[in-house]
Chain A
Amino acid sequence: MAEGKNYLNHETTIWSWLTTVDHKRIGLMYLFTISCFFIAGGVAAILMRLELAKAGGDLVAPDVYNVLFTLHGAIMIFLFIVPGIPATLGNFLIPLMIGAKDVAFPKLNLLSYYIYLVGAIMALLAIIPVDWISAWLPEFLTNFLTWLGLSGPADTGWTFYAPYSLETGSSVIWMTGAAFVLGFSSILTGLNFIVTIHKLRAPGMSWDRLPVFIWASYATAVIQTLATPIVGISLLLLIMERVFGVGIFNPDLGGDPVLYQHFFWFYSHPVVYIMVLPAFGVVGEIIPVFSRKPLFGYKAICYATLAIAVFGFIVWAHHMFTSGLSNASAFYFSLATFTVAVPTAVKVFNWVSTMYKGSISFDTPMLYAMGFVFLFMVAGTTGIYLATLAVDVFYHDTYFVVAHFHYTIQGGAVIGLIAGLHFWFPKITGKMYNEVAGKIGWVLVFFGFNLTFLPQFVLGMNGMPRRYYDYPPEFEWLHTLSTIGALINGIGYSFALLNMLYAFIWGKKIAPRNPYKSLSLEWDTQSPPIHENFEETPTVTDYPYAYGVPVKEAV
């Protein structure tokens, strides 16, 4: 296929990439950019783990450590995993999966990429440690950076909790400003996807024939569009308070610090579903293909997806059970939080049931998908502890929470992204990656990840608080294990990504149109797709999971 025209060689100049409105190219540009930030956030994580490997301060000073966990969180959340699957796989696949030529607003799509880039540059500026390096900088440069309001990297944690974030001398304004700008990119992407899915479906592609990845992307887009403005406003209020002294969150000025937490989590809880819903979609696509079975309970999965998106909006204050909530609101938010557990459980049951009487092969994407089911079981069940009021009081802000949300976000969203990248790699690049290397990468990632975070559950159960530079000696051996796990995990990701990068650039094995015999539309065009996606507009006659031999009692 490679000799024919496709979206990669359709035009080849750098300018053609920078000004492209092709959703496939924009998806790839996003992938490249967020991968850079994934590496940056990963380096911060490794440095943190090395510092914590032994009790006592050995590698960095406490203030540097505080910067490291802030950067790790802010970069991984705002620059990597929120754009994550929607901006990369979503951009690439949504038009292909629904049989469209592009998204509804291709230029808006490019604009959202550049807004993302502006936000990313603002975040990078906020990282410059002006105070520490000013001795080596020419004076005019130092003055200029200081004039811009830059002092040193934020040390507030990615949550920017007031009033600490109002008084710390670090470049908080630039970091929150970056998050504010990145929010716009997210909103525009979401808006674009909603309109695309409503208006550009191919003939016959009714709502009950949409792939679950599209359902997941749709639900995600709704959350992006509705929730992101809230965090934008709250970060803007934070900036106004810092710059103009308007009293909103600072009690000295008559403000309320708990109000900031409400604002913040009203977005930042739903954002968890922006991260993981698309990963659910990816897993829902992979398991039927490698089981040669219809996705069990297709409609139940679609309803569950929407339910999670809706319930996600009404549970935010479970992050605040110790913050000074009244008993009544604590009861409500605890009960509401449990409602998220149910549709999540329904999904897991359906994925596993899909494999019943299948013809299962263990290609790398399937291994990641099965690994995902385990990791998400751990993430989900540990979420039950945190939803339970009295128990959450004990675990709140300990390593238990750290481990729980890494199982959710890394075990869920990141593993989902890596699974999806392997799965659609032939379609995106027109090449095949090395299968053995892919499996080795999976083993390293899976083993390293669990070794990193299982000990952290035990740490949390023993009361180890998070964001601690140092700790009592009884916690040391668990921290050491966790650090070893983090190193293996880091090697695993590098291995998996380099395997794909190598295959993309130097790989010789050419991918056929449809290497997995999938019934989904994106495989119904050449690999990689032509610039216009399809030679002619496809017509859809069934949902994309009609694998196997029809049986009478099917529902």
Chain B
Amino acid sequence: MFRYLPEQASEIAPKIDWINNLITDLSVFFTVAIVGVMIFFAIYYRKKDGVDHETPQIKGSHTLEWIWTVLPTLVCIYIAYYGVIYYQELRYVPDDAMVVNVVGQKWNWSFKYENGKETSNVVYVPVNRRVKFLMESKDVLHSFFIPAMRVKRDLVPGMYTYVSFTPVMTGEYHVFCTEYCGQDHYDMTAKLKVVSQAEYDEWVNYKEDLSAFTPVELGKKLYTGKGCNACHSLNGKKIIGPSFLKAYGREVELESGEKFKSDENYIKNSILAPNSQIVKGYPKNQMPAFEGQLDDTQIGNIIAFIKSLDGSQAIEEEVLPEKSDVDVTKLTPVERGKYIYQNKLCVTCHSLDGSKVIGPSFKGIYGREGELQDGTKYVVDDEYIKSSILKPMSQVVKGYPAAMPPYEGQLNDDDIAGVIEYMKTLK
């Protein structure tokens, strides 16, 4: 449980930890020594029986003053020297470093690789290769911090900054924003995945054929890929910005009192310059301007996607899970069930902590007994779960809305078996 410093996942980490540990050793030594001497004096020279004893009028000592001025100075110079040397190493970037472009904006990290591939809130790098993260901010100050790599640098709007390091251990590491940037600063985190060069090459060169998708589907991809989903729901729920459900053609009232029906122009303008028309009751300056980040085709796709959210279809069907690099057939049943839970949007309505969201919580669900809307009793077993997934409307639990879409044709028997195994683990 107790860990002194994070794993040493970069080439420079052991060096920085060496100087860090040296300071710790010296600090503990001097603190214990000085406080120890103080406590010793306090006890040894304490006033006894409430009467002061005679004390010598010692006013000071030049020799001692010199010693304890020069000695700390030498120690300080030694430490400062190594601090500077390793800092230079931290800031050094060889010419052949692999460059990843990083954009920070409230409260989302996006990454762009040399071949144009983009990711959001997760970044892949190959092990044992120097990387340079070239960073820019779209709004306020942010700071890019990977504890395991011992690197940190602020993102300053209006200038490029960078961090550079050589990862030496594969694995998954925290990325934090460490410069306060507003409401969800705490949530502006990402994952750094260090993988082998072969895995990295396979991953980075995997390209989706975009021509196979309709504009609506492409719009959906942008919706999650650009982080719109952090603030705009698809189910009518108010998160930070207005929901996208029925957002097209909706009666809009602005802060200024101006009223009109939302149309293509309004949506486009809201994407490019969001603060120019804030809907009444919503906070200002939360959404970054996407001017220069999205081209007209992309904006058209998003508009098509929003138009499709007219409420005619159950919302869960609207978002296809992101095309992923996970092969579910290689997972254990429980892992597979968990994967489906997270990626088939079960997570939107079924909590894991016992709280009621839209549907019943999955916590302790297996074996649960209760009453359905039509008054019949039920016990949650394999058969019940299977039919609830495939034909939810046939057995809605009393007190819950009939809101779940049927998953018939979307999940096969192995998927469902995985979900059942996963549910059994949720005690």
Contacts and interface: CB of A to CB of B under 8 A. Distances in A.
Among A293, A393, A396, which residue has the most Cβ atoms of chain B within 10 A? A393
Interface string A369-385: 01001100110011011
B17 to A, nearest CB: 9
Given A256-B158, A257-B156, A390-B87, A385 B23 contact: yes
Nearest to B13: A394
B321 to A, nearest CB: 25
Interface string B1-18: 111111000001001100
A370 B42 contact: yes
A325 to B, nearest CB: 10
Contact of A391 (B20, B91, B147): B20
Range, interface on chain B: 35 or more
Contacts of B212: none
Nearest to A156: B180
Interface stretch (B50-58, B192-200, B308-316, B377-385): B50-58
Interface in B31-64: 31, 34-35, 37-38, 41-42, 45-47, 52-62, 64
A548 B72 CA distance: 31
Given A394-B147, A554-B58, A63 B183 contact: yes
Contacts of B52: 292, 359, 361
Among A62, A257, A389, which residue has the most Cβ atoms of chain B within 10 A? A389
Nearest to B61: A555
Contacts of A469: 185-187
Among B52, B80, B88, B147, which residue has the most Cβ atoms of chain A within 10 A? B80
Contacts of A549: 54-57
B213 interface: no
A230 to B, nearest CB: 21
B326 interface: no
Interface stretch (A161-169, A416-424, A430-438, A483-491): A161-169
Interface string A336-352: 00100110011011101
Contact of B41 (A257, A352, A374): A352
Interface in B251-301: 283-285
B156 to A, nearest CB: 5
B181 interface: yes
Interface in B150-187: 150-154, 156-159, 161, 174, 176-187
Given A292-B55, A394-B147, A396-B178, A461 B41 contact: no
Contact of A324 (B73, B79, B84, B154): B154
A322 B57 CA distance: 50
A66 B183 contact: yes
A294 interface: yes
A296 interface: yes
B51 to A, nearest CB: 9
B206 interface: no
Interface stretch (A32-40, A98-106, A326-334): A326-334
Interface stretch (A138-146, A184-192, A470-478): A470-478
A388 B65 contact: no
A467 B27 CA distance: 27
Contacts of A297: 59-61, 64-65
Contacts of A66: 180, 182-183, 185
A544 to B, nearest CB: 12
A466 B152 CA distance: 14
Given A66-B185, A155-B182, A163-B141, A393 B76 contact: no
A156 to B, nearest CB: 8
Contacts of A330: 87
A503 B389 CA distance: 71
Contact of A548 (B54, B80, B88): B54
Interface string A68-98: 0000000000000000000000000000000
A467 B187 CA distance: 11
Contact of B152 (A374, A388, A394): A394
Given A169-B285, A390-B12, 14 more contacts: A164-B140, A251-B158, A252-B157, A294-B57, A322-B154, A338-B80, A355-B42, A374-B38, A381-B23, A384-B79, A387-B83, A394-B16, A463-B6, A463-B148
Top 4 A-B pairs ranked by shortest CB distance?
A463-B147, A251-B158, A388-B83, A381-B27
